[in-house]
Amino acid sequence: MDLDELFPNKPDDPLTQLTKQDLDPLSVEELEGRITVLQAEIERVKAKLQNAVNFRATAESLFKK
């Protein structure tokens, strides 16, 4: 999935800015720290997604009865 599809008209979106940042000036430690932060953010988003899926499934099951 392309970022332009996710954020088509939001050039100031933090995710768009993050992916365009030049990584060359960063040290190994800074890159490792960045990976750690991004992995934590991925887990946070996955948890939110799972909650949304579970909520929807629960709501659908209630209205089907």
- Mean pLDDT over 31-44 rounds to 97
Model confidence at 36: pLDDT above 90 = yes
Measured between alpha carbons, how far is 12 from 53 in angstroms, rounded to an integer?
Answer: 29
Model confidence at 2: pLDDT above 80 = no
- Mean pLDDT over 47-58 rounds to 86
